[in-house]
Structures are given as C-alpha cells and as structure tokens.
C-alpha cells in the first residue's frame, strides 16, 4: 500500500493516491499504564482527543509531536502503528509512504521521524517538506522553472518556503502557530467574558469564527468567579482581535522569506500568488494580514487540511521529484 502521511502537531492525515483520504483525526494517543513498563493503547484520534481535560486516573493523553517534530521515539512508533491500523492497514511490512516534515526541521529531527515510521512497519519511507507536499496536493509542479511560494500554518509551527526546479530557495519557520492562537482565544474569553474554557472549546471557537462570520458564537465554560457552568456569547470579530498579536508575529517572521529571493523570483511569486495551506490558515484575519505584509496576492487552498497528505501520496509515483526534494 502506498500512502501519503501528514503527521502534524494538531492533526494527522493519511491519504491514498487513488482512494483519497483514509484517516483525518487529531494527533492524540490515549494510553493505559500496564504491569510492565510498556503502556497499552486505549484510543487514538478523535476518541483520544475527546478525553483531553477529562482523562480518568490510570490513563494518559499524549501528543506524539511537539512543534512538528518527534519528542519520544517509542510514543511516535506506537502512534503510527495505531494510525495505520485505523486507516485500514495493519503495521506489517508492505506499506510505502512519503511523510510530510517541517521545512525547517533538522536532519536529526527528520531521522527520528523516519526511524519511528520504519519501526512502525513503513518501508521504504521518505520525508518531504510539507510546503512542497501541500503544493503538489494543490496541483502545483515543484519541478517547474518558476518559483512558487507556500505558507503552511499548522498547530505547532507556521512556515513558508519558496522553491523552484527541485530545490528550496528560501524558507522561514515560526514556532508560534495554531496552538498559540488557541491559547490566545482561551485567554481572551477568560479576561473579557470571565469564563474559563478548555483547550477543546477554545479550539472549536477559533475554527467556528473562521467559518461562521455572520452571527454570534456561543461558548460554554466555567465562571471564573462562581465556579459554576455558564454560557457566553462571543462575536467572530472578538476572536480575530484575540489572535491578532499571534498572527502579527507569525506574519512578521514569514514575510522575511522574501529578503532571500532574487527580483526574478519575487516576480514569479507576484504572478502566481502565495498559496496558503494548513488548518490555522482559516483563522479570521490571517490571510488578509499576510497579504498586506507581503504585498503579494494570497490564495487559500481548496483543501487546506488534507492537501499535504494528498500531495505526499502523489509524490510517491514521481521518482524525479523525490530524488530532488525527498530525504530518506
């Protein structure tokens, strides 16, 4: 089986070139401590994420990645095995895959992810920069003799890369991204509405503000004064205000990527526009602020959440592309 995998800090997507998306769920693993040192998998994905903030004693919710990179090899291996099983395939040998990695990750960080994948039964496995994979998933050919620029805003990192004819010309990475925006929303609701909300509720509010722009949003939580459950009404404009400092920081870092590009490369990007992918790209005000800061047209991907995995799956069939951009 040939798979494209986007193993993100917030969400994991597994795609097949012909069958499409096989798995699209939060990057969360629920473990139970056993009598031996090895922990047993209880749930993965949505089932595990539903227990964040309400995990019973004896269980632990784990995020296998931090800022887009593996923090614990054993946990990452266990997680990948569980994901492959949920995607409809056991972890026995016979799975080939391309896995998206942050463009700014080090060779050591990429090696850790590839080792975890190999130990989970994926052989051979190749690492491909997520902005490049996302571009492929959106129909862009990174082997063209024109410069393309992609901004990928995920949960743990936000990054941009400009590439052309098999090579990355310039890139920038910010560790302030979607998760930081979620924390900013929770902080705003606490300070302005005196309501304490959990990470899941704050994340849902952030997402809804990007899609339900016309009406007020109802959020539930605990009153900071009485400690009792309470509802509050939040306007989408308030969410945009809450995340603006984080958005400004992220855009400020990413926009410096243009400093490393030659005038002809900038002209290519101006003609093509900057492609924006990733779940946090839908946060209110992000695309507009990016366009204002770059001074270039910005276009949002049609499938910002799954295009990296889709592109990684397509890349498996292109040996020339993997020889130029892949790392194994």
Q: Is the peptide bond before 124 cis (omega within 30 degrees of 0)?
A: yes
Element (H, E) at 111: helix 107-119
Q: Is 25 labelled a binding residue?
A: no
Q: Is 299 labelled a binding residue?
A: no
Q: Which residues pair with 158 in a beta bridge?
A: 153, 174
Q: Is 211 labelled a binding residue?
A: no
| φ and ψ of 35, to 5 deg | -70, -35
Instruction: Give yes or no for a contact between 175 and 67, defined as CB atoms under 8 angstroms apart.
Output: yes
Q: How far apart are CA 285 and CA 287, in angstroms?
A: 6
Q: Is 71 labelled a binding residue?
A: no
Q: Is 43 labelled a binding residue?
A: no
Element (H, E) at 39: none
Q: Is 215 labelled a binding residue?
A: no
Q: From residue 40, how far is each of 34, 79, 291 by CA, in Å?
A: 6, 11, 47
Q: How far apart are CA 109 and CA 180, in angstroms?
A: 22
Q: From residue 249, how far is each of 11, 158, 174, 227, 326 by CA, in Å?
A: 23, 11, 8, 34, 30
Describe the crossing of helices 73-86 and 107-119 by its angle, rounded to 10 degrees: 50
Handedness of CA 189, 193, 197, 203 (dihedral sign): negative
Q: Is 167 labelled a binding residue?
A: no
Q: Is 10 labelled a binding residue?
A: yes
Nearest CA to 197 out of 230, 245, 164 is that of 230
- The annotation places the binding site for ATP at 9-11, 155-157, 203-206
- The annotation places the binding site at 9-11, 155-157, 203-206
């Amino acid at each position: 089986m040939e798979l494209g995998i986007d193993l993100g800090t917030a969400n994991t997507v597994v795609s097949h070139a012909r069958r499409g998306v096989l798995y699209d769920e939060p990057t969360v693993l629920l473990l139970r401590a056993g009598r031996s040192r090895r922990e047993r998998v209880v749930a993965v994905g949505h089932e595990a994420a539903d227990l964040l903030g309400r995990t019973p004693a004896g269980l632990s919710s784990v995020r296998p990645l931090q800022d887009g990179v593996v923090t614990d090899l054993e946990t990452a291996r266990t997680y990948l095995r569980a994901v492959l099983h949920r995607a409809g395939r056991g972890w026995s040998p016979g799975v080939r895959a391309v896995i998206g990695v942050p463009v700014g990750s080090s060779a050591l960080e990429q090696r850790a992810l590839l080792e975890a994948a190999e130990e989970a039964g994926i052989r051979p496995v190749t690492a491909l920069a997520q902005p490049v994979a996302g571009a492929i998933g959106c129909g862009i050919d990174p082997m063209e003799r024109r410069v393309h620029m992609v901004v990928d805003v995920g949960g743990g990192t936000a990054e941009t890369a400009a590439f052309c004819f098999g090579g990355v010309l310039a890139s920038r990475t910010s560790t302030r991204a979607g998760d930081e925006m979620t924390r900013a929303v929770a902080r705003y609701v606490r300070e302005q509405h005196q309501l304490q909300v959990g990470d899941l509720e704050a994340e849902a509010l952030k997402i809804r503000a990007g899609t339900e722009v016309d009406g007020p949003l109802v959020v539930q939580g605990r009153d900071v004064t009485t400690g009792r459950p309470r509802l509050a009404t939040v306007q989408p404009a308030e969410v945009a205000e809450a995340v603006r400092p984080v958005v400004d920081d992220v855009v400020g870092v990413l926009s410096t990527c243009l400093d490393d590009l030659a005038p002809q490369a900038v002209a290519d990007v101006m003609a093509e526009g900057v492609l924006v992918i990733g779940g946090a790209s839908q946060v209110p005000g992000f695309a507009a602020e990016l366009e204002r800061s770059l001074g270039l047209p910005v276009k949002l991907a049609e499938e910002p959440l799954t295009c990296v995995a889709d592109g990684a799956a397509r890349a498996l069939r292109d040996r020339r592309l993997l020889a130029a951009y892949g790392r194994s």
